[in-house]
Amino acid sequence: MKKWAIIYSSVTGNTKKIADAMAEALEGNVDVFRVQDAPQKLDKYEVVLLGYWLRLGAPDPRMLKYLPMVHDARVCFFQTHGTDPTSEHAITSFARAGYQLGKGCEILGTFGCRGKINPSLLEHRKNAGPDDPHGGPQSLERWKLASTHPDEGDVVAAKEFVHAMQRKLQLKQKYLAAKQAKMAAATAAAKPEAKTE
């Protein structure tokens, strides 16, 4: 089995914590890179896990710069952010990440979890006006929830995600092999038999 790669961007440590959990789940069959040190050539990897934190509803600037260089790869995204992982904001950000990928990529899966918000950003947001959707008193509960993440449950979920992607890939490969065998059998059956004298 070919190695997997984990490429991540992290400032406060949230995304790194999830990247480390995923690497542990892969039991050494993985190369891990910070996005600023990541290779441009990824063809030796079976799957590339791309992790980032959200800024303005999209991957952070470093990851945004890297994504177009990723091409012809099987990809999983993982992201950390200060909001509910099932929110429209979080889900739309996966689409924004996918849109930035280079040509020929296949997205195998996505994983997201809450993460602590950068303290300097929180200070700035506390003074935001009532029209700012990311700040002000209406966001206090969301910030409080985010402050305890990624927690142990998120770490476990990240490992389970990796195992689920491994199973998904195995099932897909098994299905494609069976389909190819069926097509080969149909082609062989359609050929006229050679005449014997």
For 149-183, how does the pLDDT look when each residue is reduced to its tens digit (9 = 90+)?
Answer: 687 888 999 999 999 999 999 998 888 888 888 88
Res. 100: pLDDT tops 90: yes
CB atoms under 10 Å from CB of 179, counted, come to 10
* pLDDT for 49: 98
Res. 46: pLDDT tops 90: yes
Higher pLDDT: 25 or 149? It is 25
Measure Cα distances from 14 to 38, 53, 77 in Å: 19, 8, 15
* pLDDT for 135: 59
Where do we find the tokens 């050929």?
191
Q: How would residue 122 be classed by pLDDT, with cut points 50, 70 and 90?
A: low
Higher pLDDT: 123 or 92? It is 92
* pLDDT for 57: 85
Mean pLDDT rounded to a whole number for the chain: 85
Which residues are within 8 A (CB) of 9 and not within 5 positions of it... i.e. 6 or more apart?
15, 34, 35, 36, 51, 52, 53, 59, 60, 62, 63, 66
Q: Over range 134-147, report the average pLDDT.
A: 62
Q: Over range 125-148, report the average pLDDT.
A: 62
* pLDDT for 147: 66
Res. 96: pLDDT tops 80: yes
Q: How would residue 28 be classed by pLDDT, with cut points 50, 70 and 90?
A: confident
* pLDDT for 172: 85
Query: How much of the chain, in percent, has pLDDT values that exceed 90?
Result: 53
